[in-house]
Amino acid sequence: MHPFACPICSRLQDVETSFTKCGAPQYDRPLPDAASQLEMVPFLDYEDKDRYHVRRCPSCATLYSYSLSSEYQVNGSEDEETLTRMTVAGATVFQRQQARLLEALRRDIDDTEGSAGALGDYIDHGHPSPAEAEEAFEKMQANRARALHGREHLRVQVEAFRGTCSEILLIWAQAHRRVCQSFIYSLRTSPRRPGFDVQTAQYVARTTLEAWEALPEAGETYIPIPAVYLEGYLDRLDAELKG
Ligand SMILES: [Zn+2]
């Protein structure tokens, strides 16, 4: 739907501002009512969400950036809000940036779980001295705790986007799906390599694809990428999410 045809967006100019002066309500000029019908996008990576955030129209999905600036004056501080409708290109830039931040969270869990696994192998098979084993065990536990924390953070974020801004999840999941499909295709035709289990790799690519197909709506919120079987996966993904 075009913003002008939307019952909420049609009541907002491309740029709206408000003005409030502390102790002087006669100068108050609030944002139009329609601004409060927009929903805040629970986006990643901004410190002060009262001062800067992104809002989304629940009726047509148009995005707006919101900022609040305050200026201290001796006779009462002045607040000014600015609500700016994003262009289609601007919205795409924002959504891709958020998809890349989600991917960074996901990748950090992969890395941390990988480190914990490697330390476990070292303890079991690396013949460490008791002191070395103890040190490795502590590191492994710390990595596991960090990975659990990361999974929880990602789960909360993905579920929040499912409710309010699934476009971001669609961009993220679609990039993964394209990479999985490219592996499914290339594994079918690639020459056999000694020591490389093509059937397992194909299975991994297919199940990973299925998980990404489900993610925008339901299912697991953390999907690990078994890079051992899908060599170069992350480079292909970075190319998909670029720009
Ligand atoms: Zn709208």
Strand segments, DSSP code E, in the chain are 15-21, 39-40, 52-56, 63-71, 78-85
Task: Indicate the helix (H) or strand (E) that contains 45.
Answer: none
> 174 CA distance to ligand 1 centroid (A)?
25
Centre of ligand 1 to C-alpha 54, Å, is 14
CA of 9 to the centre of ligand 1 (A): 4
Nearest in space to 94 (alpha carbons), one of 106, 80, 84: 84
Give 102 Cα–ligand 1 centroid separation in angstroms: 26
CA of 165 to the centre of ligand 1 (A): 13
pLDDT (0 to 100) of residue 198: 87
* pLDDT tens by residue, 142-186: 999 999 999 999 999 999 999 889 999 999 999 999 999 999 998
Cα–ligand 1 centroid distance for 241 (angstroms): 27
Phi, psi of 118 (to 5 degrees): -65, -40
Q: If you measure from the C-alpha of residue 168 to the centroid of ligand 1, how many angstroms do you get, rounded to a whole number? A: 17
- Residue 133 has a pLDDT of 94
Q: How far is the CA of 11 from the centre of ligand 1 (A)?
A: 9
Over residues 75-101, the pLDDT tens digits come to: 778 999 999 999 999 999 999 999 999
The total of other beta-carbon atoms located within 10 Å of residue 21's CB is: 18
Q: What is the DSSP string of 89-114?
A: HHHHHHHHHHHHHHHHHHHHHHHHHH
Q: Report CA(85)–ligand 1 centroid distance (Å).
A: 10
Q: What is the pLDDT of residues 180-207, one digit of tens each?
A: 999 999 888 877 777 778 889 999 999 9
Distance, CA 93 to ligand 1 centroid (Å)? Answer: 19
pTM: 0.88
**By the 8 A CB rule, do 45 and 100 touch?**
no
- Measured in Å, residue 114 CA sits from the centre of ligand 1 at 44
For range 55-61, the mean pLDDT: 94
Question: What's the CA-to-centroid distance between 87 and ligand 1, angstroms?
Answer: 13
Q: Put the strands of the sheet holding 52-56 in their side by side order.
A: 15-21, 78-85, 63-71, 52-56, 39-40
Question: Which residues are bridge partners to 15 per DSSP?
Answer: 84
